[in-house]
Amino acid sequence: MTKNNLTSAFTLGALLCLGLVLLGYSLGSSLIEMKSMERTVTVKGLAEQEVKANIAIWPIRFTELDNDLSTLYQTVQEQTDKVVSFLLKQGFTQDEISSSLPSIEDRQAQGYVDPNVKYRYAAKVTISIYTKRVDLLLGSRKNMLELAKEGIAISSQDYNSRTEFLFTELNAVKPDMVQAATTNARQIADKFAQDSDSVLGKIKNASQGQFSISDRDSNTPYIKRVRVVSTLTYYLKD
Protein backbone atom coordinates (compact mmCIF):
# COMPACT_ATOMS: atom_id res chain seq x y z
CA MET A 1 0.00 0.00 0.00
CA THR A 2 1.41 3.38 -0.98
CA LYS A 3 1.89 6.28 1.39
CA ASN A 4 -1.02 8.19 -0.20
CA ASN A 5 -3.33 5.25 0.25
CA LEU A 6 -2.37 4.95 3.91
CA THR A 7 -3.03 8.63 4.43
CA SER A 8 -6.45 8.39 2.78
CA ALA A 9 -7.40 5.34 4.83
CA PHE A 10 -6.34 7.05 8.04
CA THR A 11 -8.30 10.18 7.16
CA LEU A 12 -11.42 8.16 6.31
CA GLY A 13 -11.18 6.23 9.55
CA ALA A 14 -10.81 9.42 11.55
CA LEU A 15 -13.85 10.92 9.88
CA LEU A 16 -15.89 7.78 10.57
CA CYS A 17 -14.91 7.83 14.21
CA LEU A 18 -15.77 11.51 14.49
CA GLY A 19 -19.15 10.86 12.82
CA LEU A 20 -19.95 8.04 15.23
CA VAL A 21 -19.04 10.22 18.20
CA LEU A 22 -21.26 13.04 16.97
CA LEU A 23 -24.10 10.59 16.21
CA GLY A 24 -23.81 9.08 19.68
CA TYR A 25 -23.88 12.52 21.28
CA SER A 26 -26.91 13.50 19.22
CA LEU A 27 -28.75 10.30 20.09
CA GLY A 28 -27.84 10.72 23.74
CA SER A 29 -29.17 14.26 23.80
CA SER A 30 -32.40 13.13 22.13
CA LEU A 31 -32.86 10.35 24.63
CA ILE A 32 -32.34 12.74 27.52
CA GLU A 33 -34.82 15.18 26.00
CA MET A 34 -37.37 12.40 25.39
CA LYS A 35 -36.93 11.17 28.94
CA SER A 36 -37.62 14.64 30.30
CA MET A 37 -40.76 14.82 28.17
CA GLU A 38 -42.11 11.70 29.88
CA ARG A 39 -42.92 13.69 33.01
CA THR A 40 -46.66 14.39 32.89
CA VAL A 41 -49.53 15.38 35.11
CA THR A 42 -53.16 14.30 34.55
CA VAL A 43 -55.92 16.56 35.84
CA LYS A 44 -59.70 16.82 35.58
CA GLY A 45 -61.50 20.05 34.76
CA LEU A 46 -65.09 20.64 35.81
CA ALA A 47 -67.66 22.94 34.23
CA GLU A 48 -71.21 23.44 35.52
CA GLN A 49 -73.99 25.69 34.29
CA GLU A 50 -77.61 26.26 35.29
CA VAL A 51 -80.11 26.52 32.46
CA LYS A 52 -83.87 26.75 32.22
CA ALA A 53 -85.88 23.91 30.70
CA ASN A 54 -87.13 24.71 27.21
CA ILE A 55 -89.83 22.01 27.00
CA ALA A 56 -92.51 21.04 29.52
CA ILE A 57 -94.86 18.05 29.52
CA TRP A 58 -97.85 18.39 31.82
CA PRO A 59 -100.21 15.41 32.23
CA ILE A 60 -103.54 16.35 33.81
CA ARG A 61 -105.28 13.25 35.19
CA PHE A 62 -108.69 12.82 36.77
CA THR A 63 -111.00 9.92 37.57
CA GLU A 64 -114.79 9.65 37.20
CA LEU A 65 -117.00 6.96 38.79
CA ASP A 66 -120.46 5.65 37.89
CA ASN A 67 -122.57 2.51 37.83
CA ASP A 68 -123.91 3.21 34.36
CA LEU A 69 -121.35 2.98 31.56
CA SER A 70 -123.07 5.29 29.10
CA THR A 71 -123.56 7.94 31.77
CA LEU A 72 -119.91 7.59 32.72
CA TYR A 73 -118.80 8.22 29.14
CA GLN A 74 -120.97 11.31 28.95
CA THR A 75 -119.56 12.66 32.21
CA VAL A 76 -116.01 11.98 31.05
CA GLN A 77 -116.61 13.92 27.85
CA GLU A 78 -118.09 16.88 29.72
CA GLN A 79 -115.21 16.99 32.19
CA THR A 80 -112.65 16.64 29.41
CA ASP A 81 -114.22 19.58 27.59
CA LYS A 82 -113.96 21.65 30.78
CA VAL A 83 -110.27 20.85 31.18
CA VAL A 84 -109.51 21.69 27.55
CA SER A 85 -111.49 24.92 27.88
CA PHE A 86 -109.48 25.79 30.98
CA LEU A 87 -106.21 25.21 29.13
CA LEU A 88 -107.28 27.29 26.14
CA LYS A 89 -108.26 30.05 28.53
CA GLN A 90 -104.75 29.98 29.99
CA GLY A 91 -103.32 30.65 26.54
CA PHE A 92 -102.38 27.21 25.24
CA THR A 93 -103.24 26.24 21.67
CA GLN A 94 -105.01 23.13 20.39
CA ASP A 95 -101.69 21.90 18.97
CA GLU A 96 -100.23 21.85 22.48
CA ILE A 97 -103.14 19.86 23.95
CA SER A 98 -103.74 16.14 23.47
CA SER A 99 -106.36 13.87 25.04
CA SER A 100 -106.11 10.12 25.43
CA LEU A 101 -109.00 7.67 25.41
CA PRO A 102 -110.31 7.05 28.93
CA SER A 103 -109.17 3.90 30.68
CA ILE A 104 -112.29 2.11 31.98
CA GLU A 105 -112.07 -0.29 34.91
CA ASP A 106 -114.92 -2.68 35.71
CA ARG A 107 -114.49 -3.48 39.37
CA GLN A 108 -116.97 -6.35 39.29
CA ALA A 109 -114.96 -8.11 36.59
CA GLN A 110 -112.07 -8.69 38.96
CA GLY A 111 -113.65 -11.71 40.65
CA TYR A 112 -113.72 -10.44 44.22
CA VAL A 113 -116.07 -7.49 44.80
CA ASP A 114 -115.34 -5.28 47.76
CA PRO A 115 -118.69 -4.57 49.46
CA ASN A 116 -117.45 -1.07 50.28
CA VAL A 117 -117.09 -0.16 46.61
CA LYS A 118 -120.02 2.05 45.73
CA TYR A 119 -119.43 2.43 41.97
CA ARG A 120 -118.84 -0.36 39.50
CA TYR A 121 -117.03 1.61 36.77
CA ALA A 122 -114.01 3.92 37.07
CA ALA A 123 -112.74 5.99 34.15
CA LYS A 124 -109.23 7.40 34.26
CA VAL A 125 -108.58 10.29 31.88
CA THR A 126 -105.31 11.98 30.88
CA ILE A 127 -105.05 15.29 29.04
CA SER A 128 -101.50 16.32 28.23
CA ILE A 129 -99.77 19.59 27.47
CA TYR A 130 -96.56 19.53 25.43
CA THR A 131 -95.20 23.05 25.15
CA LYS A 132 -92.07 25.14 24.77
CA ARG A 133 -93.72 27.94 26.76
CA VAL A 134 -92.48 26.85 30.15
CA ASP A 135 -93.37 30.08 31.92
CA LEU A 136 -96.96 29.84 30.71
CA LEU A 137 -97.22 26.33 32.07
CA LEU A 138 -95.76 27.31 35.44
CA GLY A 139 -98.28 30.12 35.73
CA SER A 140 -101.20 27.93 34.64
CA ARG A 141 -100.52 25.30 37.28
CA LYS A 142 -101.25 27.91 39.94
CA ASN A 143 -104.78 28.30 38.58
CA MET A 144 -105.81 24.66 38.99
CA LEU A 145 -108.30 25.68 41.68
CA GLU A 146 -110.63 26.73 38.86
CA LEU A 147 -110.99 23.07 37.82
CA ALA A 148 -111.78 22.06 41.39
CA LYS A 149 -114.61 24.60 41.36
CA GLU A 150 -115.92 22.80 38.27
CA GLY A 151 -116.07 19.56 40.23
CA ILE A 152 -112.96 18.04 38.67
CA ALA A 153 -110.58 16.44 41.16
CA ILE A 154 -107.14 16.48 39.55
CA SER A 155 -104.76 13.74 40.62
CA SER A 156 -101.50 15.28 41.78
CA GLN A 157 -100.01 12.60 44.03
CA ASP A 158 -99.66 10.00 41.29
CA TYR A 159 -96.08 9.64 40.01
CA ASN A 160 -97.36 9.58 36.44
CA SER A 161 -99.05 12.94 37.03
CA ARG A 162 -95.86 14.88 37.68
CA THR A 163 -94.84 17.56 35.21
CA GLU A 164 -91.70 16.75 33.26
CA PHE A 165 -89.25 19.46 32.27
CA LEU A 166 -86.64 18.93 29.55
CA PHE A 167 -83.60 20.81 28.29
CA THR A 168 -82.88 19.92 24.67
CA GLU A 169 -80.52 22.74 23.65
CA LEU A 170 -77.30 21.16 24.86
CA ASN A 171 -75.43 21.96 21.64
CA ALA A 172 -75.90 25.67 22.34
CA VAL A 173 -73.94 25.51 25.61
CA LYS A 174 -71.43 22.76 24.77
CA PRO A 175 -68.60 24.91 23.29
CA ASP A 176 -68.45 27.36 26.20
CA MET A 177 -68.65 24.56 28.77
CA VAL A 178 -65.87 22.54 27.14
CA GLN A 179 -63.69 25.66 27.12
CA ALA A 180 -64.52 26.30 30.78
CA ALA A 181 -63.65 22.71 31.73
CA THR A 182 -60.33 22.96 29.85
CA THR A 183 -59.50 26.26 31.55
CA ASN A 184 -60.30 24.77 34.94
CA ALA A 185 -58.06 21.78 34.22
CA ARG A 186 -55.16 24.01 33.17
CA GLN A 187 -55.48 26.07 36.36
CA ILE A 188 -55.18 22.89 38.42
CA ALA A 189 -52.23 21.68 36.34
CA ASP A 190 -50.50 25.08 36.67
CA LYS A 191 -50.83 24.91 40.45
CA PHE A 192 -49.38 21.39 40.47
CA ALA A 193 -46.47 22.49 38.28
CA GLN A 194 -45.68 25.44 40.56
CA ASP A 195 -45.78 23.24 43.66
CA SER A 196 -43.38 20.76 42.03
CA ASP A 197 -40.98 23.46 40.74
CA SER A 198 -41.84 22.56 37.15
CA VAL A 199 -43.09 24.37 34.10
CA LEU A 200 -46.30 23.26 32.44
CA GLY A 201 -45.82 22.10 28.85
CA LYS A 202 -48.11 21.19 26.01
CA ILE A 203 -51.12 18.88 26.22
CA LYS A 204 -50.19 15.23 25.70
CA ASN A 205 -53.77 14.01 25.38
CA ALA A 206 -57.27 15.04 26.36
CA SER A 207 -60.66 13.40 26.67
CA GLN A 208 -64.09 14.91 27.19
CA GLY A 209 -66.53 13.22 29.53
CA GLN A 210 -70.24 12.90 28.90
CA PHE A 211 -72.55 15.80 29.62
CA SER A 212 -75.09 15.20 32.39
CA ILE A 213 -78.34 17.11 32.92
CA SER A 214 -80.15 16.96 36.25
CA ASP A 215 -82.69 18.97 38.25
CA ARG A 216 -81.16 21.70 40.36
CA ASP A 217 -83.41 20.55 43.23
CA SER A 218 -86.79 18.94 43.83
CA ASN A 219 -88.56 22.29 44.24
CA THR A 220 -87.44 23.76 40.92
CA PRO A 221 -87.27 20.89 38.40
CA TYR A 222 -87.55 23.41 35.57
CA ILE A 223 -84.04 24.65 36.43
CA LYS A 224 -81.45 22.20 35.16
CA ARG A 225 -77.80 21.77 36.09
CA VAL A 226 -75.59 20.84 33.14
CA ARG A 227 -72.23 19.28 34.07
CA VAL A 228 -69.17 17.99 32.20
CA VAL A 229 -65.74 16.77 33.30
CA SER A 230 -62.76 16.83 30.93
CA THR A 231 -59.53 14.88 31.55
CA LEU A 232 -56.25 16.37 30.27
CA THR A 233 -52.63 15.22 30.52
CA TYR A 234 -49.89 17.87 30.32
CA TYR A 235 -46.15 17.53 29.93
CA LEU A 236 -43.97 18.91 32.73
CA LYS A 237 -40.62 20.57 32.16
CA ASP A 238 -37.89 21.65 34.56
Q: What is the pLDDT along the chain (238 residues), one digit of tens a residue?
A: 554 554 554 455 544 544 444 444 443 443 344 445 578 999 999 999 999 999 999 999 999 999 999 999 999 999 999 999 999 999 999 999 999 889 999 887 766 666 677 888 999 999 999 999 999 999 999 998 888 888 888 877 666 778 999 999 999 999 999 999 999 999 999 999 999 899 999 999 999 899 999 999 999 999 999 999 999 999 998 8
Closest CA to 102 of 63, 148, 141, 46: 63
CA–CA dist 135, 1 (Å, integer) = 103
Helix ranges, 45-169 (H):
69-90, 134-141, 145-149
Distance separating alpha carbons of residues 169 and 165, to the nearest angstrom: 13
